[in-house]
Structure 1
């Protein structure tokens, strides 16, 4: 917590009238929910209600102010730095954020925000698709572990709809390094200096990487909103597979989640398009690929480490997933790095 920055933000969080905001936004009405209009936001506004053309924008949410249902054509991070807040999705579901939680809302997702109590400070960081070149976000997909969380985060930030993500919520647990980076982004944005844009850019990438790490270590700290209402359950299951891939069994996982094994198998297939064993193979092969690229450990040892007692079977599964044999993959990776 940075008292100096919080005081600056408090001064910027004074109530604002929606009519005045909308005169600046010039938002279109897309639809109605229970008689309430749903607006489409196309631009960023600064705290002083000027249009901001930059790819990254930081603003403070006004307290005691009406915020209607809306969509925007950019991704947005919502972070309550002091106190708590609540977002409402298109189905009327309340998504509560505690102090220093981080919510990332995808573009074109309908939501509203409940009026903030006086003294609550919530920062919004808006991110256009142009905020990060694709190469900057590729680390989220290249990682051999934690693909469910990193894939959803990539989807939200890049605008790639294939992952089906609507939003994700990270319970940071007041992680000192994550919160420090957030305050640094705010400081650089409002008190700009030489290379502030570059520092903000790298701070945000650091935040994303640390959020992925935090979610991997603390499965309950992450909630993903996918196309169904059970996004949280499926994410927990995928994280469980990612952590226990080497010795996981369907019966063991079913017992962990209180499901019948046959029901769990059908549930995973319906929600992900992949069977339980396909999900396990995918995780094992991704991890094995990392070992092949980054170590000189023998293929047989790698096979055993990721959960394959029979090296021949490992070769077969690896080729099916990667379109080449393990030694060929290792050579290709080493050649690309030389």
Structure 2
């Protein structure tokens, strides 16, 4: 299918959408304000059937769906990673109790186990969603050489989702190449051909590379402007820890940030979802993976350069997280 045909397919009504729309048309005045209606508004107007309670999990590594319009999606969470792209219009969600408005060109990636609910979409609100298993991420995300808050998010989604419950929101509205990649990926789902599964993985990997590149540019903007935001705080913390990974202490970090240790601990916990010691351990393990992949130095040197002074502790924590030893990991990528 060409892009025009895919556009027509996305804007057309599915059988579910036709049913939801039919229900709302019995109360015509509601259609104009449907995107602002809460779950209770639907129920109070006898539109219970337009409130969807998701229960389905995916049994494949990659799946695709178009977000249904004219219905409210009740609060839920799931064991896979969800990436949505606003192809047209807008959409309002509540994520971890916080209202988030998505505009055309926005990309939002929800980690596993993130509680979220979605307001109803109207006629022009077209949102496409890709459902990704953690197994897919494990196989593909280790290839990233760049390290920023986006690549960090992907890596943590694989191993630490039960501790983070985070999401990423980026605007790709001015990136036509990203839009065309999304449409090409959709085409592999709706009009499959030879080697479709392989192309799905390739397109997804390229999409994530584009997002990581956007993350690099975003970090530079944050660094230049020093925006007082959660995103910038996370950026400062991760960069500092990486730069001082071999000898970092909470006391030294607090002093360099101009905080006392208790407040520094609170800032780290709020920004990362982890305690200082947990977050430093994660960073050291991530750095050790980089050395194992990109260098031929001994595993002893890998441990030392990653900030581990005790080899037994390094082996224990590495295997606990990655389910294999450092030696086995290196052998597996040769």
Offset at 1:177?
4.8
Question: How many Å separate the matches in 1 of 2:92 and 2:194?
Answer: 36
2:107 to 89, 96, 102: 102
CA contact (8 A) 2:299 2:326 kept: no
Give runs of aligned pairs for residues 134-283 of structure 1, distance below 5 A.
Answer: 134=135, 137-140=138-141, 145-146=147-148, 148-154=152-158, 161-165=161-165, 167-172=167-172, 174-219=174-219, 233=230, 236-244=232-240, 245-246=242-243, 250=253, 254=257, 262-269=262-269, 272-275=273-276, 279-280=279-280, 283=283
The answer for the alignment partner of 2:64 in structure 1 is: 58
Offset at 1:101?
1.6
CA contact (8 A) 1:79 1:102 kept: yes
Offset at 1:208?
3.5
Offset at 1:96?
1.3
Question: How many Å separate the matches in 1 of 2:62 and 2:300?
Answer: 47
C-alpha RMSD over aligned residues: 4.8
Q: Residue 192 of structure 2 aligns to a residue in which SS?
A: coil
Question: How many Å separate the matches in 2 of 1:43 and 1:281?
Answer: 35
Question: How many Å separate the matches in 2 of 1:266 and 1:90?
Answer: 19
Which runs of no fewer than 5 residues in structure 2 stay unpaired? 24-37, 223-228, 318-324
Count of residue pairs brought into register by the alignment: 286
CA contact (8 A) 2:185 2:204 kept: yes
The answer for the alignment partner of 2:118 in structure 1 is: 113
CA contact (8 A) 2:303 2:309 kept: no
- TM-score normalized by the length of structure 2: 0.61
The answer for the alignment partner of 1:41 in structure 2 is: 54
Q: Residue 18 of structure 2 aligns to a residue in which SS?
A: coil
Offset at 1:321?
3.6
Offset at 1:95?
0.9
Question: How many Å separate the matches in 2 of 1:182 and 1:87?
Answer: 21
1:82 partnered with 2:88: yes
Q: Residues 175 and 250 of structure 1: is their aligned pair in 2 closer, same or farther, counting only changes over 3 Å?
A: farther
Question: How many Å separate the matches in 1 of 2:261 and 2:40?
Answer: 41
Offset at 1:88?
2.5
Offset at 1:69?
1.6
Stretch deviating more after TM superposition (100-109 or 291-300): 291-300
Question: How many Å separate the matches in 1 of 2:71 and 2:202?
Answer: 33
Q: Residues 118 and 253 of structure 1: is their aligned pair in 2 closer, same or farther, counting only changes over 3 Å?
A: farther
- TM-score normalized by the length of structure 1: 0.61
CA contact (8 A) 1:17 1:66 kept: no
- Per-residue CA deviation, residues 178-205 of structure 1 (Å, 9 max, x unaligned), is 4332111112222222222332233224
More helix by share: 2
CA contact (8 A) 1:102 1:170 kept: yes
- Per-residue CA deviation, residues 226-263 of structure 1 (Å, 9 max, x unaligned), is xxxxxx82x644433333422596258636xxx66641
- Per-residue CA deviation, residues 269-304 of structure 1 (Å, 9 max, x unaligned), is 57644327x745753564355235523579999999
Which runs of no fewer than 5 residues in structure 1 stay unpaired? 22-31, 45-51, 223-231, 308-313
- Per-residue CA deviation, residues 132-161 of structure 1 (Å, 9 max, x unaligned), is 7x2652454686844641244436xxxx74
Offset at 1:40?
3.0
